[in-house]
Chains A and B, each alone.
Chain A
Amino acid sequence: MTKELDPITLQVVGGALHSIAEQMGNVLYRMSYSSIIRESQDLGAGLFDTEYNTLCESDSTPMHIGSLPGYLRGIEQTVPLSAWKKGDCVIHNHPYKGASHSPDIAIVMPIFFEGELVGFSANTAHHVDIGAATPGLIIDVPDMWAEGMLLDGVKLYNEGVRNEDLWKYIRDNTRVPGLVMGDLEAQVASAELGVRRFEELMAKYGKETVIQATKQLMDYTERRMRAEIAKIPDGDYTAEGFLDDDGRNRGQTLPVKVTVRIRGDGAEVDLTGSSPQVPTAFNVPFDGSTKVAAFFVFRALLLDTYTAQDDIPANEGSFRPIKVTAPEGCIFNPIAPAAAEARFCQIQRMSDLVIKALAPVLPDRCTAGNAATLSFAAYSGVRPNGEYWVFLEVNEAAMGGRPASDGPDTVEELMRNTRNNPLEDLGMHLPLICDRYEVRDDVPPGAGKFRGGSGVVKSQRYLTPGFMTHESDRHEDAPWGVFGGKEGAVGKVEIHNIHSGETRQAYAKYSGLRTEVGDVVSYFSPSGGGYGDPFEREPNKVLDDVLDGFITPEHAREAYGVGLREVDDGYGWAIDAAETERLRAAG
């Protein structure tokens, strides 16, 4: 039994580890070529012990946090612990061996200290194109072989010697080698940095102290999580919703059912009752994505930094009290060789349903329905010189109303936290021009005492012919309101050609769509649901929304019971107090 560390050493080592992970993440995103990594920061990086516990991880995108131990266990099936040599570097993306999904490629390097294997430095990053059936993203494909390259624990470096054949193989099997090879180099540099910094830390504080510090930090987070779960009354809490379709069989909605079982200081998330796996890529890898999402939502709900007031380290301690169940053959636990690349909309909805299920017993912690989806767009085309261009864009959505404030507009909600890509940057690199990027004001957000957030609208115009794949959902099932709040708005996609004047309504999901010069693809993300009775909303806030163009005076009157009168002050509207009183009294 190692003795407890003094609080200063514990904090210093914990802080140093956190800083290493941040540095690894920084090197990765600063050095990388593709915008999905450098701007959206769709990456994760960290250090792990030989039992695959997380010692530290960068605060980047939730889906990468907590996924790396799964990769390490998957790699062990090919490279056992005893087979690692100093200077090795392994690449891995197998969706049935721990990967989050196949484009999230992991790079892993072993760390040796005084001749002994003490852990791993590893990172994951989303790659723009791994040679799948359609450029960038896939929806309607038959199986995992159509996802592109499968890299199952193979070595990019053997004891420091570069495996040139493998590098060539990868270069030959992506549509955009210029981006992918540069990004892989960045991942290797980031992993090397982690190895070096960890060796330095071990040299300064000793192996025992470092390992002891991480154990104490994990135990601490676990205790805090258990204490929060214990405050929730024991019981089974269920919520249900549905997804639009699988991207092939239109009109066939897919149920999602979440049961949260609270027992003492532990919880189970059970997905029994959700749709069976689908014949397209719209399935979720169980280890790498379903479980990670369940862990995340509990941490975000119960150990929120804003309400917790003190700094709770993010680590696997918060995962320990949570059990995740999904029957084999379910959309959340597919059986190989089902394709399982397009998984984000499902886990967003699953997370939101966990919140909905717990809302009755966590009224002060829950939100109304969030947009809880994703708009992941792959724009692509072939340049005159025969080279492909591929661009992946993540469009933000909105949150539902919250116990004491409105749902934020146009924000990354739930399981995602990627940054948008500056449009001036895109214009420099791609044959696209953006025509509009604004907060959605064509439909009102969910009314409530605290209203839902408004989604975004983005219109990208093709300057040359190309292709497009869109991974999205929620054109059918609007975000719900809670405690008297009203439902939000569903999303939509419109494709309008500025030359022909034609407008096509598109499904949320489409694969390899051909696009022409002048096609403007406009995405409108869903808007969040409202929290609480809209008639209790402060009239001034309703007026603000009218003046800011988010709602109309008619909507103010009908949904909120707020009467307005026209004024000539350059803005146009003021509150009609008497009318408001009358409307609200009438109910």
Chain B
Amino acid sequence: MQTTRVSVDVGGTFTDIFVINEATGSIAIEKVASSKDPIDAIIAGVASAGVKLKDVALFSHGTTVATNALITRRLPRTAMVCTKGFRDVIEIRRANKEDLWDTYKDVVKPYVPRRDRLTVPERVDSNGNIVEELDEAAAREVARILKRREVDAIAVCFMNAYTNGANERAMRDILVKMLPDTPVSISSEVLPEIFEHERFSTTVANAALSPIVVDYTSRLGDALAEQGYSRDLLMLHTGGGVMTPQSVRDFAARLAGSGIAAGAIASRHIAMMCGFPNSIGLDMGGTSTDVSLAYGGQSRVTKDWYIEYGYPIRFPAIEVMTIGAGGGSLAWRDEAGSLRNGPDSAGARPGPACYGNGNEQATNTDANVFLGRLGTSLAGGKITLDAELAEAAVTRTVAEPFGLEPHAAADAILKVANANMSDAVRLISVTRGLDPRDFALVAFGGAGSLHGVDVARELSIPVVIVPPNPGVTSALGCLLVDIQHDFGESYIVAVGDADAGALEAAFSRLEAEAHARLKHEGIADEDIVIQRTIDMMYQGQWRSLAVSVPSPVVSIEELVGRFHEEHAAEYNYRRDDAPVSFYRLNLRAVGAVAKAQLPEYEPTGETPAPTTHREVWFEPSASVSTPIYDRATLPAGFKFDGPAVVEQLDSTVLVPPGASAEVDPHLNIIIRV
């Protein structure tokens, strides 16, 4: 009986495995060091968690493989074929600066350098008429050059191709003939939407990521199958749903924020369980911290999404802000003589100084160990930290250069890290007019629960939630989502010229496509939910509004009525006499996947005893003898006050003096700061 669900989240430092047996409600977690090839750690971790892959009903996975490839620019050699006269669209971008006041900041270069952007004569006009056929001789010459250059992926991006992709397809045919093993992404299929830069940029990212993620998912799929897994591998995408390897092949760029979305989903879910519709997720790992926000129970989803400013990837994305602050972030002294923290990290190897693998520069983990906040035995004794090496690193990196007593130096390192995280939280909350006092902070990731209360206090956030398995919370997020695909196409028709029957036919066509894709992924018809919306606007306006569309379409007038209402609600203004136009059809197809049920526990009334006491420095001036609890012994309903430290396999929870904590029925620790 396949009743086990497994999800895996691969981070820069650790690979987290989350296993839930739905028959028994039991949960198992495993945490192993990430490996050079992420798949090695996944297979090893699954094995050491005691999972038999043949018993697994569902394996879902969030990965940063694509994100890292874009950030580090370790991309396969990718070429672009453009309409003659338009090779630089992705370089010119929208021409504006990210920030008005950034005179000195570099404009990052596009994913494909100019030398690899070639052009061919061809032209489609804005009505979709081919005014110039593809010049096949020129197209073959381009293919010949690209073959000589041994490119790994190709994007075909022609002007107005969203109205008619025939020339793009003809170009692809020639490329496939001459470079049969090179993946080709064409803009009219990746994102059939008007706006050349946004479409081209998405297509280029898709092409560049394709070899990487296809290789990754097929190798992972093979490795899992070898161990007996017989179902589909589900990959988390940036929009917060999952997709199968078949879809990954065509829409590689949807994985660009895969690993990032999982934490946001889990954080929102946990906060909702605890009764907090407004929450901020602080997911602090070994190398970075992801900050997310849910308001009124909803994550913010945007289509204005990018890894680097200027290069949009226009698939729906859950908004997450990533900063370079993690347990392994290195402390350093800048040219102006100030103490800095991150974004460089000691990573998994060599790791913090206290790992004893040769790094001598102090990290946040070293500061925490030296101050007694973090114990010297982690992951159930599998990892031993050396407090003396931590002290030596703190002394050498910070205490001596700044003339500080070592405890004050360690405290200063953490203060800088906490300030960096607080700034990120401020950016996504305060600068949008959201008051942190109305939020709960969900602290997770391997290091989040060590820093959560300090960050919350700095921002006056009243409550911190530490989930039962903070170190593998993101992995849990992968188990909380459905298969989800977003379809769309331009539909630029004035409402006066529109016909309800034709509109219904257009939606039906998209629906058939959606059903086919989900069916191919093994989803039964009764588990498919389709949401239709249509973007509409006052004719001549550009920004459109999405209006939900009934199935079947009732009448055009009814849609126009809905549009006026929505417009008034959104923009404080309606023009009943102004002509209205349709702009784009959208279809979201959700293939429901049964969600993991988290177990609930009755309060036992027991008062567990601390396993030991340890000297912990909450202030640099003096240490406090602090009870150390084993989290596994803390029952639902248990209340305790700081100072206290709670240790568990994947994380350590710090409850400083002045804070009070309670364990809730789902075994979350709720801390009033």
Proximity bits, A13-44, B CB within 8 Å = 1, else 0: 00110111000000101111101001100000
Proximity bits, B116-152, A CB within 8 Å = 1, else 0: 0000000001100000000000000000010011100
Closest residue to B427 on the A side, CB-wise? A311
B197 within 8 A of A: yes
Asked if A423 contacts B196 (CB within 8 A), the reply is: yes
Bound CA span A3–B197, Å: 51
Bound CA span A410–B197, Å: 14
Asked if A185 contacts B430 (CB within 8 A), the reply is: no
Where chain B touches its partner, the secondary structure class is loop
Nearest Cβ on chain A to B419's Cβ, whole angstroms: 10
Closest residue to A407 on the B side, CB-wise? B107
Chain B 439-475 interface residues, beta-carbon cutoff 8 Å to A: 459-460
Which residues of the other chain, A, contact B115 by a CB distance below 8 angstroms? 547-549, 571
Chain A 256-287 interface residues, beta-carbon cutoff 8 Å to B: none
Chain B 151-205 interface residues, beta-carbon cutoff 8 Å to A: 159-160, 162, 194-198
B658 within 8 A of A: no
At the interface with chain A, which of B84-92, B553-561, B625-633? B84-92
A77 within 8 A of B: no
Asked if B195 contacts A419 (CB within 8 A), the reply is: no
B300 within 8 A of A: no
Closest residue to A6 on the B side, CB-wise? B460
Which residues of the other chain, A, contact B94 by a CB distance below 8 angstroms? 419-420
Asked if A424 contacts B96 (CB within 8 A), the reply is: no
Bound CA span A424–B115, Å: 25
At the interface with chain B, which of A132-140, A238-246, A434-442? A434-442
Asked if A19 contacts B88 (CB within 8 A), the reply is: no
Nearest Cβ on chain B to A458's Cβ, whole angstroms: 9
Chain A 295-353 interface residues, beta-carbon cutoff 8 Å to B: 299-301, 303-307, 311, 314
Bound CA span A65–B114, Å: 35
Chain A 530-547 interface residues, beta-carbon cutoff 8 Å to B: 544, 547
Asked if B107 contacts A411 (CB within 8 A), the reply is: yes
Given contacts A306-B104, A402-B104, contact A185 B573 (CB under 8 A): yes
Chain B 413-440 interface residues, beta-carbon cutoff 8 Å to A: 423, 426, 429-433, 435-437
Contact for B86 among A20, A178, A304, A437, CB less than 8 A: A437
Which residues of the other chain, B, contact A435 by a CB distance below 8 angstroms? 85
Given contacts A16-B433, A19-B432, A193-B572, contact A437 B85 (CB under 8 A): yes
A403 within 8 A of B: yes
Bound CA span A428–B159, Å: 13
Proximity bits, A386-405, B CB within 8 Å = 1, else 0: 00000000001000001111
Asked if B159 contacts A424 (CB within 8 A), the reply is: yes
Given contacts A301-B103, A423-B196, contact A396 B95 (CB under 8 A): yes
Closest residue to A548 on the B side, CB-wise? B114
Asked if B92 contacts A437 (CB within 8 A), the reply is: yes
Bound CA span A320–B97, Å: 26
Which residues of the other chain, A, contact B145 by a CB distance below 8 angstroms? 570
Asked if B86 contacts A438 (CB within 8 A), the reply is: yes
Asked if A423 contacts B97 (CB within 8 A), the reply is: no
A367 within 8 A of B: yes
Contact for A411 among B95, B430, B572, CB less than 8 A: B95
A11 within 8 A of B: yes
Which residues of the other chain, A, contact B89 by a CB distance below 8 angstroms? 437
Closest residue to B198 on the A side, CB-wise? A422
Asked if A33 contacts B114 (CB within 8 A), the reply is: no
Which of B88, B89, B115, B435 has most A Cβ within 10 Å?
B88
Bound CA span A65–B540, Å: 27
Nearest Cβ on chain B to A180's Cβ, whole angstroms: 11
- Which A residues form the contact surface with B (CB < 8 A)? 8, 11-12, 15-16, 18-20, 27, 29-33, 35, 38-39, 59, 62, 65, 178-179, 182, 185-186, 188-189, 192-193, 196, 299-301, 303-307, 311, 314, 365, 367, 396, 402-405, 408-412, 417-420, 422-425, 427-429, 433-439, 456, 459, 544, 547-550, 569-571
8 contacts between A and B (CB under 8 A): A8-B459, A33-B538, A304-B101, A307-B104, A412-B96, A418-B95, A422-B194, A571-B149
- The 4 A-B residue pairs with the shortest CB-CB distance, nearest first, are A427-B126, A19-B433, A30-B543, A436-B85
Other A-B pairs, 16, CB within 8 Å; known A417-B100, A456-B95, A550-B114: A15-B429, A30-B542, A31-B541, A192-B572, A301-B103, A305-B101, A405-B106, A424-B160, A434-B85, A437-B92, A438-B86, A438-B92, A439-B114, A456-B92, A570-B145, A571-B149
